[in-house]
Structure 1
């Protein structure tokens, strides 16, 4: 009994329970697991997101948190959520639909919490490394599923899709591929050819998967834009010219050897023609019809919109009496982030959305790997949101929240004095 009473376990556990550093480490671990699980599971991401917020509570420094919350990088996403919540008051949709429409904006509340935490944490790069490693494993599984579809966890999945869908997978792979350009360039400048070669091989694995196995139209459009941003910021004009020529040669080679790429590119024109001639429902035709109707909805309530969750009801009214395939389609998402916000909350919502993007772009000014990752996440989200509502979509929305939150916190940390990054002293 005396030996048991003198056991140091309970005392050590009690000290760690009161130690803010131990809680910060716990949050780091949960954030790493959250990033690693994002390519694979939606339910696990939701659970870990809640757990991460709960584990932040025991060591909260209210003063520092308020400083973060008062900055535009936090105010804008919070304001967008608040607008979605208040927008339920003037919507004509059923209350269940109104509240359901608030849910996609709720993840934005996690962004200020990540900014607060990773302003003090030193493990931000671990989060990005976990996401990269998870996506590398997804490349392996995607390739395996392409050759043996029976391995797919998702029933009736597209070719090369192990879980999720080709849009989510394309977002992950394109982000990782372009993000690796910066460390590869830095390693080559330092003549560290072995690690540069390893990262280059990983980059080409992502690109090869997107060319030969799972081709995403959104990725095809955004990858050249992201590479152009990298070249303009980090390279001289001669290097940009060489990369442009090399990219053109590789694109032509990929075109001739990849039937999947040819087929996907051909859909741009064939689907548009099918839409014009009402020969069937196509994704491009649907988007054009959604955008045309959404602009009309926006014109009907330009200042504060029709309210949260009103989009589907508006499409139902617009489809009444229509016999053409595209015109009779009813959706609750116009597949464009700006229009999604404009229909529900008018110009007020659009101003807040663009203010958020602008604030986050300005946050990542400067050179370095972390600002590059943060900038890339924001730029990718802005351009892909032309074709989807990627702030409100689950997967892409969490990519934005994690990427901007972690990278933004690390940038803020680098701009503070060393003694301010240590965190509060345990009582």
Structure 2
């Protein structure tokens, strides 16, 4: 290397350092960095658990360089921020009256703490103009995951699941419940821009998005789908139809959906097996006391209601669930009545057992406050509405708000879409000459 080359390299390095230092003092660059980390987290969410955790820590650190304390504290007064904070605070206080070991109390508190990120997301994406970047990144990542799912469906040995862990049919990473949640959300959310593009006469763009949405649906029909997704998908589509389509169109789509559903069930062995498993699991549980999926849920729910009745106001405390199930277990562990669990597979009962009626009231007030935030027009409002709706209905069969993957889907979806909606409303208020409430 000549002296001239070394000089050019040194100058280039100095230039890069100067650019980095200037970015540290450039508010626009700092905001962009926060947005890009959020995009990275969205890309990682369908694939990695540890990546999301590390990414969110980096996101909060980057956000701290842009945070203006007084406006942020003022934003915390809104119910959409107060209620998730209140639920986490109740969970923290619940450790004081729990009889569980402290390790169990802190372990049970951890899943709720992700809700504390919501106020930061609302605050940042009310200022940022790049919220849609995050959703596009998530859609692209989920689309890539369908490709991996199709590949693994034909060759299960290519799955990245840990050795000895059941890979399932068409599961590349994580599990079929998380994958189904992602695919359902993407497919339903795409319905809004597809209809909008068709109304604007942009048929090619609408067909392209329709193909992407169809890819998610076909994968669930022929590869793998969770029973929770089978329940939530029709509900979400019904809400879309009632909100955005005329009644005649709804009738026509209902007929088409019925025909398509019957045809899909006829030609898809995977879908037949999933739906047939409902009745089979219930029969095996009732007749032979075997721990099937549906049977265990019924067993967990019945016992949880009894635990709730024993402490209806403030519950048994954080982390108490497993100990209660251990005390209530009867018979050997291979039978349904002998099963012990720390999660009753229902978000309401999960909260009710630990924090009683107080916790349930805060939980539903939070859900409803977030639901009401997304009343209105626009893609961001539609995304947020579907995220809340999916979480509420899927939480009838799982504790999805506290589960890692589905919980972060809720926090990121509601936080980013909520910030975008708040920004749009602020702009409308300023253009009309009114002040924001």
Counterpart of 1:296 in structure 2 is: 306
Residue among 30, 33, 36 paired with 1:26: 33
Q: Distance in 2 between matches of 1:419 and 1:323?
A: 60
Shift of 1:416: 1.2
Aligned length: 421
Counterpart of 1:206 in structure 2 is: 216
Counterpart of 1:135 in structure 2 is: 142
Residue among 18, 22, 45 paired with 1:15: 22
Residues 1:121 and 2:131 aligned together: no
Counterpart of 2:228 in structure 1 is: 218
Counterpart of 2:107 in structure 1 is: 100
Q: Distance in 2 between matches of 1:199 and 1:237?
A: 24
Residue among 80, 83, 103 paired with 1:76: 83
Shift of 1:11: 4.4
Residues 1:242 and 2:249 aligned together: no
- Secondary structure of 2:127's aligned partner: coil
Q: Distance in 1 between matches of 2:97 and 2:376?
A: 42
Shift of 1:409: 0.2
- Secondary structure of 2:177's aligned partner: helix
Over 3 Å counting, the alpha-carbon distance change for 1:419 and 1:375 in structure 2 is closer
Q: Normalising to structure 2: TM-score of the pair?
A: 0.93
Shift of 1:15: 2.8
Q: How does 1:273-352 map to 2 (within 5 A)?
A: 273-321=283-331, 325-352=335-362
Shift of 1:63: 1.8
Residues 1:382 and 2:389 aligned together: no
Q: Distance in 2 between matches of 1:395 and 1:84?
A: 20
Counterpart of 2:372 in structure 1 is: 362
Q: Distance in 1 between matches of 2:366 and 2:28?
A: 31
**Structural RMSD (CA):** 2.0
Q: Would you say the 8 A contact 1:211–1:258 is kept in 2? A: yes
Q: Would you say the 8 A contact 2:194–2:209 is kept in 1? A: yes
Of 32-41 and 270-279, more deviation after overlay is shown by: 270-279
Residues 1:252 and 2:252 aligned together: no
Q: Would you say the 8 A contact 2:176–2:225 is kept in 1? A: yes
Q: Distance in 2 between matches of 1:420 and 1:71?
A: 19
Q: Distance in 2 between matches of 1:48 and 1:318?
A: 40
Q: Distance in 2 between matches of 1:400 and 1:65?
A: 21
- Secondary structure of 2:336's aligned partner: coil
Residue among 184, 195, 202 paired with 1:185: 195
Shift of 1:215: 2.1
Q: Would you say the 8 A contact 1:278–1:326 is kept in 2? A: no
Shift of 1:280: 2.2
Q: Distance in 1 between matches of 2:112 and 2:333?
A: 34
Shift of 1:67: 2.3
Residues 1:169 and 2:179 aligned together: yes
Structure 1 unaligned regions, length at least 5: 422-427
Q: Distance in 2 between matches of 1:290 and 1:412?
A: 40
Counterpart of 2:435 in structure 1 is: none
Q: Normalising to structure 1: TM-score of the pair?
A: 0.95
Residues 1:151 and 2:150 aligned together: no
Q: Would you say the 8 A contact 1:377–1:404 is kept in 2? A: yes
Deviations 1:330-389 (A, max 9, x none): 000000000000000000000110010000001001011110000000000000000000
Residues 1:227 and 2:234 aligned together: no
Shift of 1:9: 4.9
Q: Would you say the 8 A contact 1:24–1:59 is kept in 2? A: yes
Q: Distance in 1 between matches of 2:11 and 2:143?
A: 49
Residues 1:67 and 2:58 aligned together: no
Shift of 1:255: 1.0
Over 3 Å counting, the alpha-carbon distance change for 1:149 and 1:2 in structure 2 is closer
Q: Distance in 2 between matches of 1:278 and 1:320?
A: 15
Structure 2 unaligned regions, length at least 5: 1-5, 432-437
